Structures are given as structure tokens and as C-alpha cells.
Structure 1
Amino acid sequence: MHHDAPIFQPKDPDYAARVRASFGLQQAMQLIGAEMSAVEPGFVEIVLPHRPQITQQHGYIHGGVVGMIADSAAGYAANTLTPHDTSVLTVEYKLNLLAPADGQRLVARGEVIKPGRTLLITRAEVFAVRDEKWTLCAVMQQTIMAMHGKKEGAA
């Protein structure tokens, strides 16, 4: 997905360390077992190993969990392009579930479409990987709000 993506210049030279540290603060990602596997300007990849605790009644990974990793991958893709003192919040996303999330792992790839100063438009694709066969199981489009001068931490 990201090989054809536009090339963005980060405003923060330490964007990767900042984004990885922020991801580390997300207890929700720890709860489901997700890991950040790639951080590039305007692009983030999150990998989620299959665990029985995050499945729905048919044994597929729950659609809400698919949405969680799509949201985080695209949101952090946006965060790679914000200034060092700026955090991000999702204000909207639309998720299409195209196929069951039936994989030994899921891979969410988020990228920035348009990096505005206040609103950043992003998208993500989520793949279910089984025996190294990749199936596109979800696509998402998202709006992110940049909160300038607002550091992260407890509300």
C-alpha cells in the first residue's frame, strides 16, 4: 500500500521515537496484544497476533478489534507528520469489513492522504494473514484532529 504513497517531510525529526512512545502508552493496544511494526513519515503498520480472547462467535477476530488497529495505524500515521508538541485524536472514521478477519495475524497499514494543519485525512487497510496468504479484510477512511500544544497523558 505505501510504496505508491506520497513522500511527506516530518515536522519533528524525532517523530518515530515519539510515535512509538505514545503507542506504548496505549493500554488498549496492550490489552489486545497489538505491536507497532513500522513507522515511516505518513505511514504506520500494526501487527496483531490471533488470540482466542479477541474473537467473536465464529472464531474470527472481532470487527471492533479490526477497527481498533485500523484506527491506531492511521491515527499514528497522522501523528508522524505533526509537530513534536502536538497530539492527535480521531474525530471520525468509516470502516468497511470486506472479509472475515480469519488469520494467524492481522496487519493494519495506515497512511496519510492529506496532512492539514488541524484536520488530517487518513486511510488504512487491514489484512488477515493465514499461511502467508494475505486477504484484505477491511478498509477505513479517517479524520484526525491535531491538538497543537497538547501533550499526552491522563486526561
Structure 2
Amino acid sequence: MAQFQPRDPEYAARVHASFALQHAMELIGARLMVVEPGFTEIHLPLKPEITQQHGYIHGGVVGMIADSAAGYAANTLTAADASVLTVEYKLNLVAPADGQHLVARGEVIKPGRTLIITRAEVFAIRDERSTLCAIMQQTIMVMHGKKERTA
């Protein structure tokens, strides 16, 4: 993992506060567990409400946590008065999301002033065994001077 210097010394608190505003993450039960410069990790426990017809966690939900993990990795490197928004992502589902929980790891590949390129990997964890189930590449747009809503 590349080493990046955050522009905001309070980046971790800002990212955690932003994640707390994500009602979609709350709805599915996702938790932001790791926040470091250019890297975040989101954990998602298995629950029946987020599974598909085979009992695996739905691919759309896998995409949600990959998008958020990589997006928040980008957000760790922005200025305090900026926010981020996904422009696009490409998700490959490489194995069923068949785990007792999922772990999404997002990281910055190339930071920029306006666009940040990121990637995420999502792992299904079952009985302490980790299986890669998705890989994502993403482009994030930095919105300078545009703070997030507060409630």
C-alpha cells in the first residue's frame, strides 16, 4: 500500500462523521473499522435481509461496500472543506459473497486535485477463511468547497 500524506490533520474524525451520515450503510449494517491515509476498511455482517436467492450476500450490496470503502479512502486525502462523489466504478464479482461477514478494503491508487483513482477488494469471511469475492476500480471526484449535509 502506498504512503500518502493527508491534507487535513483531522481526516479520520471527518471521515467517521461522514460515514455516520450514510443511512444506506446503516441500513445494511456496515461498519467503518479502519481509517488511515489513503485506506479504509468496512465490515458487513451477514443478515438475511441482504442476501439473494442462493443465500449469498447480494452483488449490489457487495458493490455498495466496495464503493464506500474506496470512496472514503479517497476522502482521507482531501482538504477539510471538500467532499467526494463517485464518478464511476467497474466491479468484478469473482466469487459468491458466501461469508459470515464481508470485509471491503479501499485504497487510493493515484490522488489528484479533481479526480482520485481508487480500488477496492471485498473478501467473504467464513470460519476464519477469507475468499476474494469482488474487485473494483473507481474514479472519485473531489468537490472543493462543498461540505456534506450535517443531518
Cα separation, 2, equivalents of 1:91 and 1:11: 22
Q: Tell me which residue corresponds to 2:18.
A: 22
* Selected match of 1:53 from 38, 49, 62: 49
* Selected match of 1:84 from 80, 84, 107: 80
| SS across alignment from 1:125 | strand
* Selected match of 2:97 from 93, 97, 101: 101
Cα separation, 2, equivalents of 1:151 and 1:37: 23
Aligned length: 150
The aligned amino acid for 2:41 is E
* Cα displacement (A) at 1:153: 1.0
Taking the TM superposition and a 5 Å limit, the aligned residue runs for 1:2-151 are 5-151=1-147
Cα separation, 1, equivalents of 2:60 and 2:117: 21
The aligned amino acid for 2:84 is V
Cα separation, 2, equivalents of 1:81 and 1:49: 28
Write out per-residue CA displacement over residues 53-75 of structure 1, whole angstroms, 9 at most, x where no aligned residue.
00000000000000000000000
Normalization by structure 1: what TM-score? 0.96
Write out per-residue CA displacement over residues 89-127 of structure 1, whole angstroms, 9 at most, x where no aligned residue.
000000000000000000000000000000000000000
RMSD: 0.6
Moved over 2 A (4+): none
Unaligned runs of 5+ in 1: none
Identity over aligned residues, as a percent? 79
Cα separation, 2, equivalents of 1:47 and 1:59: 18
The aligned amino acid for 2:139 is T
